[in-house]
């Protein structure tokens, strides 16, 4: 584990960023760390860089200070959070060229970053739980607790996935004691959907097909459909989880078109298949039970590429 106090000691200009299309964990972990540095090191110049975040996270403390563009400024210290490689850092990867010391805090099995300091725990529920481990407990305010609780809730599917450990529940209990409105965080940031989100979810579920005796479920949406429902990629978060809970399913795949002949694939599994291995094969990455990749081809072609890889692993698991 790294010692945050030592790492921060001599740094005056600090940058923090996370992966493209930031999710609840990425937003919670980066804002939790940002708030801690702002609260405790007011003389340091710290900036948080993330792509646009979904509106549901706007209640998190200092989220309005997030910088969306890049800078040519140099940094003494740069934190790369919840991100497994430079490509996933998007435009912010260029900040690393201008940085003296780099730190990575992450829980991706597929982490390939080579930073000076690294706190990478593939078994950890979330990067937010790792940030909790790094912070002095007396410095965790209610606002920081809200950020980190949100992050944990999103990466554990509200404490449901097998990445949830005793330490995860203990961290969550600690945050509850800070007076956070935990049920409202779950309701407003995780479960609540707009009417448009619900309708496009319905379209994806209707499109879905089962394979391999109902152990694999796959669905996709095209750009035309996303336009028809006035949906952004952010509106599609959660579709793959809805597919995954189908009775009898072990592996769920959801694809959405990102460009001409290009789809983003989200993969989830319940208990036997390591989907990060499959995602890695197609240039992506992730965790044991949740992974993703950007894939070339039409939906049917991508399906033809993915199915044998999934089937192979299901049959190996059945031995
Ligand atoms: P998603 O399906 O986008 O929710 O992603 C599931 C998990 O896989 C997340 O932890 C992502 O960080 C990771 N992931 C998604 N897409 C990629 C990718 N192209 N490369 C590496 N990791 C990815
Ligand atoms: Mn993430
Ligand atoms: Mn994460």
pLDDT tens, position by position, 195-254: 999 999 999 999 999 999 999 999 999 999 999 999 999 999 999 999 999 999 999 999
- Nearest CA owner, ligand 1 atom 15: 292
What confidence score (pLDDT) does residue 204 get? 98
As a whole number of Å, the CA-based R_g of the chain is: 19
pLDDT, average across residues 290-316: 97
**98, 74 contact by CB (below 8 A):** yes
What pTM did the predictor assign? 0.94
What confidence score (pLDDT) does residue 306 get? 98
What confidence score (pLDDT) does residue 316 get? 87
What confidence score (pLDDT) does residue 268 get? 98
Tell me the pLDDT band of 319, cut-offs 50, 70 and 90. Answer: very low
The pLDDT tens digits for 26-84 are 999 999 999 999 999 999 999 999 999 999 999 999 999 999 999 999 999 999 999 99
What confidence score (pLDDT) does residue 288 get? 94
What confidence score (pLDDT) does residue 13 get? 98
Tell me the pLDDT band of 298, cut-offs 50, 70 and 90. Answer: very high
- Which atom of ligand 1 is least distant from the CA of 85? 21
Q: What are phi and psi of 122, to 5 degrees?
A: -60, -25
Instruction: Give the whole-number percent of the chain exceeding pLDDT 70.
Output: 99
* 243 within ligand 1 shell (Cβ under 6 A): no
What confidence score (pLDDT) does residue 317 get? 61
Enter the tokens of residue 11: 């740094």
What confidence score (pLDDT) does residue 121 get? 98
pLDDT, average across residues 124-132: 98
Average per-residue pLDDT for the chain: 97
Q: Pick from 130, 285, 293, 295 the residue to mutate for probing ligand 1's pocket: most ligand atoms within 8 Å of its CB.
A: 285
- Which atom of ligand 1 is least distant from the CA of 266? 2
Q: Please check the confidence at residue 179 and state whether its pLDDT lies above 70.
A: yes
Instruction: Give the whole-number percent of the chain exceeding pLDDT 90.
Output: 97
Residues around ion ligand 2, judged by CB within 5 A, are: 23, 25-26, 82
């Amino acid at each position: 584990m790294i010692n945050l106090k030592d790492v921060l000691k001599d740094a005056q200009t600090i940058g923090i960023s996370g992966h493209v299309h930031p999710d609840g964990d990425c937003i919670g972990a980066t804002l939790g760390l940002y708030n801690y540095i702002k609260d405790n090191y007011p003389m340091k110049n710290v900036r948080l860089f993330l792509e646009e975040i979904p509106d549901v996270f706007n209640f998190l403390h200092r989220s309005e200070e997030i910088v969306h563009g890049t800078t040519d400024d140099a940094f003494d210290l740069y934190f790369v959070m919840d991100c497994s490689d430079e490509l996933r850092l998007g435009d912010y990867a260029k900040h690393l060229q201008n940085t003296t010391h780099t730190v990575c805090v992450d829980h991706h099995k597929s982490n390939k970053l080579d930073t000076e300091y690294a706190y990478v725990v593939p078994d950890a529920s979330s990067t937010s739980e790792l940030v909790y481990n790094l912070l002095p407990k007396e410095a965790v305010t209610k606002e920081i607790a809200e950020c980190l609780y949100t992050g944990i809730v999103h990466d554990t599917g509200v404490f449901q996935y097998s990445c949830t450990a005793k330490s995860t529940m203990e961290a969550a209990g600690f945050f509850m004691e800070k007076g956070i409105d935990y049920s409202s965080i779950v309701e407003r940031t995780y479960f609540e959907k707009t009417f448009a989100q619900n309708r496009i979810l319905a379209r994806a579920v209707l499109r879905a097909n089962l394979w391999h005796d109902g152990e694999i479920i796959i669905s996709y949406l095209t750009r035309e459909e996303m336009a028809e429902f006035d949906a952004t990629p952010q509106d599609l978060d959660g579709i793959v989880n809805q597919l995954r809970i189908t009775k009898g399913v072990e592996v769920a795949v959801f694809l959405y078109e990102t460009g001409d002949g290009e789809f983003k694939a989200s993969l989830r599994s319940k208990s036997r298949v390591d989907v990060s291995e499959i995602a890695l094969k197609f240039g992506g990455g992730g965790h044991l039970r949740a992974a993703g990749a950007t894939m070339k081809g039409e939906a049917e072609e991508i399906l033809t590429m993915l199915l044998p890889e999934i089937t192979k692993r299901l049959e190996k698991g059945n031995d």
